[in-house]
Every structure is written in structure tokens, then in C-alpha cells.
């Protein structure tokens, strides 16, 4: 895993010798458009990077885009892998560690999620302030590479308070309503049952999704500061009179994409 990351970072350094990304970004379902806003781009297909898996889901491409966004040098994972594709959680390890080896100190994750708060309007944004890992897997299971981080990393304060504040202030400047809450990661690929949604709400989740937590765990393990935002594409199963679908996820993430892009760019420029 770590060897893959080291080799991938070398290849990126060869292909983009004058780039020194400070912020790593991963884009969720239907949110890949942010990568198209990156200036002075160098694009590298995941297929060219050791340990980088090629995503299989509609709405996800697999490429690393380096360049400038909001005046900041970024490295953007355009397309991510999901556990429901059959990948073990450890598949995300090389992707995130490559960003860290390239010099990224901050990791920004975006995703599409279902809302558990009934007043959340589809297409609204939620700042993730904590998570609950219900995927039954952890990307750090297996031998630990001490050169990246400790065997037993703490997950308190995983979502950096300073970055949270910058995101709140950026959203306020733009007039974008930013909800806040706890993101629960599930294995998928089924959407939840109404009974599960009721149970998860009682457990303290404000949104449910099928991604992000593995990447956040790996990023925290290797010392990156983390910020994460969900696009709430729907109310959780049973909370509204509709049957959930991936098309709906893509539709509403597409509608919210403009707000998300503005927010991330404003946030990056706010240092």
C-alpha cells in the first residue's frame, strides 16, 4: 500500500515537476465539475498510477487533476472508489497517501448523502463535523506503516475546527446556507430501509452515505487536516414519499454543484 503511494507520488512528480499541491480534494457523485475549474491543469489517469483503482460507477471518472483553484495549488481525486464496488477499505490508502506525499497538508472531501433531518431541502449543503463508521471495515486494518502514522490514531477532532470555521465564514460571505451534522458511512450499495433510517437518526447521524470515512481515516492517520462537505441529495428512505435512486442523487448533486464549487473556491482563497 505504502509502496504504491511512494511510486505514484514519484510518477506525479515526474509528470508535474513544477507543481506543489497544498490541498488534496476528493469529489463525490456528480461533483466532478469542480475539477474542470482547476487552472493550469495537469491530468493523470488513475490507470497510470500504481495502486489507483479505476472507478466503475456512472458519475465517477478516475483521474488525478493538479493545478490551481481559488489561488491555491491543489491535487484533486476526480472520482473515488467505493466499498460497495467490492474494493476493500484499504483501496483508498494509496490515493490519500499519495496526496500527502505530494505535500498536501489539508484534505477536503465532498460527497452526496441522504439527509436524516426532515427540514433539509434536497440540494442543500452540510458541513460534516463528525462521523460514525458503520461500514464494518477500516482502511488501516492490516500491518501499520509507522512512517505514515501510529497504529492507533485518534479520531477525536477528525474534522478540523479551524477549517470548519473557515467553511462557515466562506458560506456566509457567499450567502449559501450551510447545515452542519454527523455523517454516517454505510457499506451500500442498497439505499437504507425506512427502519434503518429511523434507527440511524436515533444513533446521532444527520446524513447517510457510502463514502468519505475511509479517506478521512487515512488522511488523519498521516496527519492531514480534514474538512468535508455533503451535498444532501434526498431525504433518507421513508422520510419523504419517494423511492430513492442513483439518478436522483446525480440530479440533485448536479443542482447543488454550483454552490459547492463556489464554496470550495471561496474557502481555498480564504487562507
**Catalytic residue status for 105:** no
Instruction: Please report whether residue 233 would count as binding ligand HPA according to CB under 6 A.
Output: yes
Instruction: Please report whether residue 239 would count as binding ligand HPA according to CB under 6 A.
Output: no
Pattern 158-187, ligand HPA, x by CB under 6 A: ------------------------------
Pattern 209-228, ligand HPA, x by CB under 6 A: xx------------------
Instruction: Please report whether residue 24 would count as binding ligand HPA according to CB under 6 A.
Output: no
**Catalytic residue status for 85:** yes
Which candidate in 211, 221, 227, 256 is catalytic? 211
**Catalytic residue status for 82:** yes
**Catalytic residue status for 246:** yes
Instruction: Please report whether residue 192 would count as binding ligand HPA according to CB under 6 A.
Output: yes
Tell me, letter by letter, the H, E, C secondary structure of the chain: CHHHHHHHHHHHHHHCCCCCCCEEEEECCCCCHHHHCCEEEEEEEHHHCCCCCCCCCCCCCCEEEEEEECCEEEEEEECCCCHHHCCCHHHHHHHHHHHHHCCCCEEEEEEEEEECCCCCCCCEEEEEEEEEEECCCCCCCCCCCCCCCCCCCCCCCCECHHHHHHHHHHHHHHCCCEEEEEEEEECCCCCCCHHHHHHHHHHCCCEEECCCHHHHHHHHHCCCEEEEEEEEEEECCCCCCCCCCHHHHHHHHHHHHHHHHHHHHHHHCCC
Give residues 86-125 in contact with ligand HPA (rule: CB under 6 A).
112-114
Instruction: Please report whether residue 266 would count as binding ligand HPA according to CB under 6 A.
Output: no
Which of the ranges 84-92, 100-108, 173-181, 233-241 carries the binding residues for ligand HPA, by CB under 6 A?
Answer: 233-241
**Catalytic residue status for 84:** yes
User: Which residue in 208, 219, 257, 268 binds ligand HPA (CB under 6 A)?
Assistant: 208
For ligand HPA, the closer CB: 179 or 221: 179
Site of interaction with ligand HPA (CB under 6 A): 112-114, 191-192, 208-210, 233-234, 236, 244, 249
Amino acid at each position: 500500500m505504502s509502496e504504491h503511494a511512494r511510486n505514484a507520488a514519484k510518477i506525479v512528480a515526474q509528470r508535474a515537476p513544477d507543481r506543489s499541491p497544498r490541498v488534496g480534494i476528493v469529489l463525490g457523485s456528480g461533483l466532478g465539475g469542480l475539477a474542470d475549474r482547476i487552472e493550469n491543469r495537469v491530468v493523470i489517469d488513475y490507470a497510470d498510477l500504481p495502486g489507483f483503482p479505476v472507478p466503475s460507477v456512472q458519475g465517477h471518472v478516475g483521474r488525478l487533476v493538479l493545478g490551481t483553484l481559488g489561488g491555491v495549488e491543489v491535487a484533486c481525486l476526480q472520482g473515488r472508489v467505493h466499498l460497495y464496488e467490492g474494493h476493500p477499505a484499504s483501496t483508498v490508502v494509496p490515493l490519500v497517501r499519495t496526496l500527502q506525499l505530494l505535500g498536501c497538508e489539508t484534505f477536503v472531501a465532498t460527497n452526496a448523502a441522504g439527509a436524516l433531518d426532515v427540514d433539509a431541502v434536497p440540494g442543500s449543503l452540510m458541513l460534516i463535523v463528525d462521523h460514525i463508521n458503520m461500514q464494518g471495515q477500516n482502511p488501516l486494518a492490516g500491518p501499520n506503516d509507522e512512517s505514515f502514522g501510529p497504529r492507533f490514531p485518534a479520531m477525536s477532532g477528525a474534522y478540523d475546527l479551524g477549517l470548519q470555521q473557515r467553511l462557515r465564514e466562506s458560506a456566509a460571505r457567499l450567502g449559501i446556507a450551510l447545515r452542519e451534522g454527523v455523517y454516517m458511512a454505510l457499506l451500500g450499495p442498497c439505499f437504507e430501509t425506512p427502519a434503518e433510517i429511523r434507527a440511524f437518526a436515533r444513533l446521532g447521524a444527520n446524513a447517510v452515505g457510502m463514502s468519505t470515512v475511509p479517506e478521512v481515516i487515512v488522511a488523519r492517520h498521516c496527519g492531514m487536516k480534514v474538512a468535508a462537505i455533503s451535498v444532501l441529495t434526498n431525504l433518507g428512505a421513508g422520510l419523504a414519499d419517494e423511492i430513492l435512486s442513483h439518478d436522483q442523487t446525480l440530479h440533485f448533486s448536479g443542482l447543488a454543484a454550483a454552490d459547492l464549487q463556489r464554496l470550495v473556491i471561496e474557502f481555498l482563497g480564504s487562507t
